[in-house]
């Protein structure tokens, strides 16, 4: 039997441009926005947790896989989306969180993590063994990546007990999670020879490792379609540059698609073209919390005009002080003079601020901001200046006017572009 996701993507063989976007975030407002978007249009909802966010030690969210599943299901239920429309995925599942350790130790942790994900009901598993661990060569060979991938796949298969088996995503050309940490001007599209070699090596290793029956559930290959973003620039999709790779995929006998990472901040037409060209799984993460930050910034400006200053949240000041006091999650990524770093902390496309929303001082300031604006009526004319799209929907009575609804709808502005591109399926 085919899984729900496999059945959806199999429509492509019928000439239907079916695709799906993958929401890679653990913020409650982002998950709420994603659930409400899927419920409104009646689509599948794919939500993925990364190995750094969620693992057997809690990750930076403090959640293990089963807890993340419960967290997402709460929002799915609140949005009125049927639970069977939810697909949970694990992103970059491999030794990445423990790559400072020797490979054997890091892989042992990765095995435990993969086991917990599958046991918790995650059915789309991105097996990412592409990174080097302590003692490894700087660049792992496709053979080594495939061997470690098969090792993790065996664990996943043993952990699965009922229903359709997990579907898998593989690849060796995996972009850095969260966007580039340096300026990018041009990217090379994955070559057809590299894509073909990666698939051939993985298929052979799977067969050698007794996983031949699992191979049909390898649904996607991570490749570089030539899209990326850095702090203040986005490389847009150029389908002419990707044509050779796209033509190669169309000639493959197996039902496999490409998974594209770092697709955040593309223009709407780019998503349409990506899905049409076989990049049928589109990852989005930082762009969602970037939009959330924009909405919070707009609401803070409104707050300063409607609420007496002693009662104001001073959210931006709290964020700045907290990030300066606890720089570990941004300093390795934001170079430059102090004045340049200050701009990046708040405005960088890489959105390192997303690692700080759970900090107690920042969370308290957000609560105060929402409380303050919930106690007053935001004038329509003021909303028009700061959140014009939400103003228009509010005028049409399509959304509520409370501050959280405005934030969630601003996040959905990003998701609407993805949903439109994937709706053909």
Contact 259, 222 (CB under 8 A): yes
The CATH number of domain 4-284, selected from 3.40.50.970, 3.20.20.70, 3.40.50.800, 3.50.50.60: 3.20.20.70
Query: What does the alpha-carbon distance between residue 359 and residue 290 come to, in Å, rounded to a whole number?
Result: 17
Query: What does the alpha-carbon distance between residue 129 and residue 226 come to, in Å, rounded to a whole number?
Result: 22
Contact 282, 414 (CB under 8 A): no
4-284 with 289-411: one CATH topology? no
Q: Which residue has the tokens 């379609």?
A: 225
Give the three-state DSSP class for 284.
strand
CATH superfamily entry for domain 289-411: putative tagatose 6-phosphate kinase domain like (1.10.400.20)
**Degrees to nearest 5, angle at CA 279 with 354 and 154:** 80
Residue 425 confidence (pLDDT): 46
In tens, the pLDDT along 36-83 reads 999 999 999 999 999 999 999 999 999 999 999 999 999 999 999 999
Task: Give the pTM.
Answer: 0.95
Domain boundaries, given as residue ranges, for the chain: 4-284, 289-411
Query: What does the alpha-carbon distance between residue 419 and residue 421 come to, in Å, rounded to a whole number?
Result: 5
Instruction: Give every CB contact of residue 354 below 8 A, 6+ residues apart in sequence.
Output: 25, 27, 286, 289, 293
In tens, the pLDDT along 193-250 reads 999 999 999 999 999 999 999 999 999 999 999 999 999 999 999 999 999 999 999 9
Residue 424 confidence (pLDDT): 56
Residue 271 confidence (pLDDT): 98
Residue 338 pLDDT exceeds 60 = yes
Query: What does the alpha-carbon distance between residue 386 and residue 291 come to, in Å, rounded to a whole number?
Result: 13
């Amino acid at each position: 039997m085919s899984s729900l996701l496999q059945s959806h993507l199999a429509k492509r063989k019928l000439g239907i441009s079916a695709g799906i976007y993958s929401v890679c975030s653990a913020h409650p407002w982002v998950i709420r926005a994603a659930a409400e978007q899927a419920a409104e249009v009646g689509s599948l909802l794919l939500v993925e947790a990364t190995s750094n966010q969620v693992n057997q030690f809690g990750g930076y969210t403090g959640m293990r896989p089963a807890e993340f599943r419960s967290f997402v299901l709460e929002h799915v239920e609140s949005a009125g989306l049927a639970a069977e429309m939810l697909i949970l995925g694990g992103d970059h599942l491999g030794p990445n969180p423990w790559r400072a350790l020797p490979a054997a130790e890091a892989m042992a942790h990765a095995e435990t993590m993969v086991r917990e994900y599958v046991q918790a009901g995650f059915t789309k598993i991105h097996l990412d063994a592409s990174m080097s661990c302590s003692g490894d060569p700087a660049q792992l060979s496709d053979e080594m990546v495939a061997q470690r991938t098969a090792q993790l796949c065996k664990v996943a298969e043993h952990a699965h007990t009922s229903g359709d088996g997990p579907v898998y995503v593989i690849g060796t050309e995996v972009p850095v999670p969260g966007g580039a940490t340096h300026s990018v001007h041009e990217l090379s599209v994955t070559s057809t020879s590299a894509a073909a070699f990666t698939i051939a090596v993985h298929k052979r290793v799977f067969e050698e490792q007794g996983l031949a029956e699992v191979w049909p559930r390898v649904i996607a290959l991570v490749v570089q379609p030539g899209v990326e973003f850095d702090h203040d620039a986005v490389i847009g999709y150029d389908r002419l540059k990707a044509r050779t790779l796209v033509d190669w995929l169309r000639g493959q006998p197996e039902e496999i698609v490409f998974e594209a990472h770092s697709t955040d901040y593309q223009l709407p037409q780019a998503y349409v073209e990506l899905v049409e060209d076989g990049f049928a799984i589109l990852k989005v993460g930082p762009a969602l919390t970037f939009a959330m930050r924009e909405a919070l910034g707009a609401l803070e400006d409104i707050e300063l005009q409607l609420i007496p200053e002693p009662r104001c949240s001073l959210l931006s000041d709290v964020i700045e002080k907290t990030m300066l006091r606890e720089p570990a999650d941004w300093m390795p990524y934001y170079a430059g003079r102090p004045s340049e770093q200050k701009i990046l902390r708040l405005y960088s496309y890489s959105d390192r601020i997303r690692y700080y929303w759970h900090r107690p001082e920042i969370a308290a300031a957000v609560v105060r901001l929402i409380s303050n604006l919930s106690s007053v009526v935001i004038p329509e004319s003021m909303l028009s200046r700061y959140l014009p799209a939400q103003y228009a929907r509010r005028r049409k009575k399509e959304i509520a006017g409370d501050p959280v609804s405005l934030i969630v709808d601003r996040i959905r502005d990003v998701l609407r572009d993805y949903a439109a591109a994937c709706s053909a399926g």
